[in-house]
A = this chain, B = another copy of it.
Amino acid sequence: MKIELHGINNTYPLICERGILSSCSSYFDKNKKVLIVTDENIPSSYYQDILNNIDQSYVYILPPGEKSKSFDNYLKIQSRLVELSFTRNDVIVSCGGGVVSDLTGFVASTYKRGIKWISIPTSALSMIDASVGGKTAVDFDSIKNVIGTFYSPSLLLLDMDTLKSLPQRELTNGLFEALKMGFIMDKSILELMEDPFNNLEEIIVKSIIAKDEVVAIDPKEENLRRILNFGHTIGHALESHFSLGETLKHGEAVGYGMRFVIDDSLKEALKHYSSKLNLPQINISKNDIPSLMKYIRNDKKASNKGVSFVFVDSSYKTNIKSLNNEEIERLIAKEVESWHQ
């Protein structure tokens, strides 16, 4: 399947085919240098075909996990590109999950002011979320994604076979983003969520198409695109609070984040689908609120007047409201209290 997606300054093809990685070098110009950025958990078989068929191809292997999305690694990859005399006509490839994709995209957007980037997401989360919409980033000063750019790859390759070897929690990590798309864009995704693991491929493709529709209208998040932050403002704070992804994965944090801002009439449905996705328990009490507030005030969507929240009403419509500090504290306290009843 081939779909044309809307990039930030360009459109680019998504090619989705089982087994495609075993012959993916055919999509590359064999006269250009290639640096593949990946992590230790990614089987080298995913990019072996590139190494076998492109003379000047190199691999940069990161330790796995959110901690790798650091400036330190950003600079190490930049150094490698300088050392290998990469020009702006050469190619950088991300092969892995969201961490690899966000970090590599940020490197690609800033090395010599922008070089070609081919994105190969291999986790459900990076297929659904990081691969579409051109957001690149690193974490800094314990704030997630606080530094980054808008920059699109020139090609996106999906091989659903890469999901076979993943533990279930990695799949659900991505499926919470798909669940979000179900509530705000495409209710047919919710129906597929009754049996998420058997409907995996369909859920992922539908989610990508839904997200792309939003990004096409508002690439730089000035209006409509803000609805994609449904569940994310408190979600990111929960994720940061629970130590950058070690206790709570991004998708799971969004799974909880949505509870604070969804209409009461849809809360049972949200919990129902969340349990299908095995949302883990978290320990949270009133004492955690000051820490959450600190993270929320540093959210990219915050302004001096307040912080924007995306609410979903009983008819699945989104409303964006700006809340001041007191209102946010009340919103969080009310929901947290209800969990302890």
Residues of A that sit less than 8 Å from B by CB: 9, 31-33, 71, 75, 78-79, 82-83, 85, 87-90, 106, 109-114, 135, 137, 140-141, 143, 146-150, 220, 297-298, 300, 302-304
Contacts and interface: CB of A to CB of B under 8 A. Distances in A.
10 contacts: A31-B304, A78-B147, A82-B141, A82-B146, A88-B300, A89-B303, A110-B110, A112-B148, A113-B137, A114-B149
Contact of A298 (B85, B90, B146, B297): B85
B79 A141 contact: yes
Given A140-B82, A143-B82, A148 B89 contact: no
Nearest to A141: B82
Given A82-B140, A82-B143, A302 B148 contact: no
Contacts of A298: 82, 85
Q: How many copies does the complex hold?
A: 2
A302 B85 contact: yes
A150 B302 CA distance: 25
A130 B184 CA distance: 44
B135 A85 contact: no
Contact of A71 (B32, B75, B150): B75
Contacts of A135: 113
Most chain B CB atoms below 10 A, which of A141, A220, A304: A304
A304 B32 CA distance: 7
Contacts of A79: 140-141
A243 to B, nearest CB: 18
A71 B300 CA distance: 22
A75 to B, nearest CB: 6
A110 B149 contact: yes
A89 B304 CA distance: 8
- A-B pairs, top 5 by smallest CB distance, nearest first, are A112-B300, A82-B141, A89-B303, A87-B303, A87-B302
A114 B150 contact: yes
Contacts of A304: 31-33, 87, 89-90
A138 to B, nearest CB: 9
Contacts of A31: 304
B149 A109 contact: yes
Most chain B CB atoms below 10 A, which of A109, A146, A147: A147
Contacts of A143: 82
Contacts of A78: 140-141, 146-147
Nearest to A31: B304
Contacts of A114: 149-150, 220
A71 B76 CA distance: 12
A36 to B, nearest CB: 18
Contacts of A150: 113-114
Contacts of A87: 300, 302-304
Nearest to A298: B85
A146 B111 contact: yes
A79 B109 CA distance: 21
Given A85-B298, A87-B304, 9 more contacts: A71-B71, A75-B140, A78-B141, A82-B140, A85-B302, A106-B110, A112-B147, A112-B148, A112-B300
